[in-house]
Chains A and B, each alone.
Chain A
């Protein structure tokens, strides 16, 4: 999350300096840096690949940045899978997602993401792999504004702890004028976003609601963001 500047099209001076450092070290350390940069880890440890120690906390796989996060939720695997697979539900706990609209019946979806200045960006995805009760993997369709793929897996947690839900998202930092806008969305730190979204998913599934410390309905984070978005839209 410290490395957002490195990814966005509008790299700051610090980001550029970081890029240069990154390049120098990668060149200097050869295979080691290359293997790390691709997210490859040798077989000497059992940690997930995306936990590889990257420079400035950055994890990447080829040209893709990768984020991952797991959460254990005390509900049955099938129930969690079914809720997630009904993609329209995702907007209830994913902060940047205004809505997810299924297109047809073959798993195509259009995701409407909130962008700065009251704008929204649509991304169309298709399901590339699905194992009912266990796994959903998706990818953005050819020519999409954002080049991204992701997967969510559902595994039984030990004992009676419910289900381990793991999300992995890879995305290619976009370029160009549109890219700058998109970078701002993606630049809202996908890693942070994934962390928050999975916490909210657990809250919703385990307690039926999403915790807020607001005193009044119009002061919740969700209400404030919707309000801000509306204001920017009309401005």
Chain B
């Protein structure tokens, strides 16, 4: 089959690799019809996530048709499914309390050591996202082996297009969980750092959940325009001092909750961020957390902090004092996708949520490498790339 494989930093290629086959009873093989490049794929592309090997098939946002099932799968050939990026067994302690992205059984036993050593506990398996999370072949391919196919994949009705439901695999639930983690109350003002796909979906979700105001922060004019079109007010951090602006816009109280939808490779001009850029380039394992640092200072006392942005290592000069002294509440984590998929499918069907506005480019899988490069280098106009097979 054809698949987008990692060769090195800023070097991904579409190669011919072995087709997947059923290995375990609960597996299914999916013929991918649509797959997207995620903002977090750019962290792999930029070489800042450890444990990615040459030849690894990337991609964790995908959907398609079931073409083969193991005896333990509940899927049937021919069904159209969206597959969560998290792999969940459905029966471990964490899955039983719906913490699907913390599944204990989906990351192969010997691959759990790295994250256990780094974080104190092993991470779950994820599609196409380094060997630390299992080394599973990802979805930017013609076919994918999907383990525990009776748990994660959601069957979608035929009257919805791929483009309407594809983002149930990751970014829509991720934006939704980000807003949920902000514990939004009526009259709340919410600030969202980063108007990439997750930030935009978080804005949309926060408004659906009843936030009075959402203020979006970015520096790409087109992305800020998209945020505005969803109903947010916007701040361009290249033009305005973000903390001062937020204080003024919230009447001196500060925003009630903040959402960091930027993550480890944030842009910014503060001296500490510049230093962090250098350390990250030198491979010293430091996350650039400048968006999060700014958010922690901007949020009001007793406010809530939600972090859907991806971090993998350590952060320097983290303002822990602000967290304690201001009495902040911090919620984060990889998205528990299966917890939200069905509800969100309902909201897509009844028109509450639209996801198609985000897609700026549709390319054949064969042009995936161009998609990565442009998504990376032209972030203003390339908001979301969807790859089509066949």
Is the CB–CB distance between B23 and A216 below 8 Å? yes
In the complex the two chains form, what is the Cα distance from A203 to B134 in whole Å?
Answer: 14
Query: B106 on the interface (CB 8 Å rule)?
Result: yes
Tell me the chain A residues, 177-231 only, with Cβ under 8 Å from chain B. 192, 195-197, 199-200, 202-203, 206-217, 219-221
Q: A216: which of B21, B111, B148 is its contact (CB, 8 Å)? A: B21
Q: Beta-carbon contacts of B322-362 to A below 8 Å, as 1s and 0s?
A: 00000000000000000000000000000000000000000
Determine whether the beta carbon of A216 is less than 8 Å from that of B105. Answer: no
> Contacts A207-B89, A207-B148 hold; do A212 and B21 have CB atoms under 8 A apart?
no
Interface positions, chain B 16-39, Cβ under 8 Å from A, are 17-21, 23-26
Other-chain contact of A215, B107, B109, B137, B148 (Cβ < 8 Å)? B137
Interface string of A154-172 (1 = CB under 8 A from B): 0000000110000000000
| Complex interface residues of chain B between 131 and 148 (CB less than 8 A to chain A) | 134-137, 145, 147-148
B-side contacts of A209, CB under 8 Å: 24-26, 72
Chain B residues with CB under 8 Å of A192's CB are 113
The contact sample of 28 A-B pairs, CB cut-off 8 A, is A74-B92, A161-B93, A162-B93, A192-B113, A195-B109, A199-B112, A202-B92, A202-B104, A203-B89, A206-B91, A207-B26, A207-B105, A207-B148, A209-B72, A210-B109, A211-B24, A211-B109, A211-B147, A212-B23, A212-B24, A213-B125, A215-B19, A215-B20, A215-B137, A216-B20, A216-B21, A217-B23, A219-B18
Which B233-280 residues have a C-beta within 8 angstroms of A?
none
Question: Could you list which residues of chain B lie within 8 angstroms of chain A, going by C-beta atoms?
Answer: 17-21, 23-26, 72, 89-93, 96, 104-113, 125, 134-137, 145, 147-148
**With known contacts A192-B113, A202-B105, A221-B110, A211–B25 Cβ distance under 8 A:** no
Q: What are the residues of chain A within 8 A of B25 when measuring CB–CB?
A: 208-209
Q: Which of A72, A161, A197, A212 lies in contact with B108, CB distance below 8 A?
A: A212
Please tell me which one of the listed residues B20, B105, B137, B147 contacts residue A206 in the complex, with CB atoms under 8 A apart: B105
Contacts from A to B (Cβ < 8 Å): 72, 74, 161-162, 192, 195-197, 199-200, 202-203, 206-217, 219-221
* Interchain nearest-CB distance for A224 vs B (Å): 12
Given contacts A209-B24, A215-B18, 5 further A-B contacts (CB under 8 A): A203-B89, A211-B24, A213-B134, A216-B21, A220-B23
Please indicate the chain A residues that have their CB under 8 angstroms from the CB of B137 in the complex: 213, 215
When distances are taken between beta carbons in the complex, the residues of chain A under 8 Å from B105 are 202-203, 206-207, 211
Main secondary structure of the interface of B (DSSP, over half): loop
Interface centre among B17, B105, B106, B137 (most CB of A within 10 A): B105
Task: Across the interface, name the chain A residue whose C-beta is closest to B17.
Answer: A215
| A72-B93, A207-B91, A207-B148 known; A213+B136 contact, CB < 8 A | yes
User: In the complex, are the beta carbons of A74 and B91 less than 8 A apart?
Assistant: yes
The 10 closest A-B pairs by CB, nearest first: A199-B109, A209-B24, A215-B20, A196-B109, A213-B136, A207-B89, A213-B135, A203-B105, A213-B134, A206-B91
Residues of B within 8 A of A217 (CB): 21, 23
Bound form: Cα–Cα A213–B108 in Å: 7
Contact for B18 among A162, A197, A213, A216, CB less than 8 A: A216
B2 to chain A, nearest CB (A): 14
CA distance A206 to B109 in the complex (A): 14
Chain B residues positioned under 8 Å from A211 (CB to CB): 24, 89, 105-109, 125, 134, 147
Question: Which chain A positions have C-beta within 8 A of B106?
Answer: 211
The CA of A31 and the CA of B137, in the complex, are separated in Å by 54
Task: For the complex, give the distance between the alpha carbons of A217 and B25 in Å.
Answer: 12
Query: A223's closest neighbor in chain B, by CB?
Result: B23
Q: Once the chains are docked, how many angstroms separate the CA of A161 from the CA of B145?
A: 30
- Bound: A220/B111 CA distance, A: 13
Q: Which residues of chain A have C-beta atoms less than 8 A from B107's C-beta?
A: 211
Cβ-closest chain A residue relative to B20 = A215
Nearest CB of A to B338, in Å: 15
Alpha-carbon gap, A216 to B112, bound state (A): 21
CA distance A212 to B92 in the complex (A): 16
Report Cα–Cα, A161/B91, bound state, in Å: 11
- For A161, list chain B residues within 8 Å (CB): 93
Complex interface: chain B residues within 8 A of A199 (CB):
104, 109, 112
Bound-state Cα–Cα, A162 to B94, Å? 13
Contacts of B91 in A (CB 8 A): 74, 206-207
Closest to A219 in B: B18
Q: How far is the CA of A16 from the CA of B105 in the complex (A)?
A: 39
| A208 lies within 8 A of B145 (CB) | no
Q: Which residues of A lie under 8 Å from residue B109 when comparing CB positions?
A: 195-197, 199-200, 203, 210-211
Chain A CB within 10 A, most for which of B25, B105, B109, B136: B109
Query: Residues of A contacting B148 with CB < 8 Å?
Result: 207
What's the nearest-Cβ distance from chain B to residue A164, in Å? 12
Q: A residues within 8 A CB of B96?
A: 74
Q: Complex formed: what's the CA distance from A72 to B109 in Å?
A: 15
On chain A, the residues within 8 Å of B108 by CB distance are 211-213, 221
How close is B251's CB to chain A, nearest CB, in angstroms?
46
B218 CB → nearest A CB, Å: 35
A214 CA to B147 CA, complexed, in Å: 10
- The chain A residue with its CB closest to the CB of B148 is A207
**Cβ 8 A contact of B93, one of A74, A197, A216:** A74
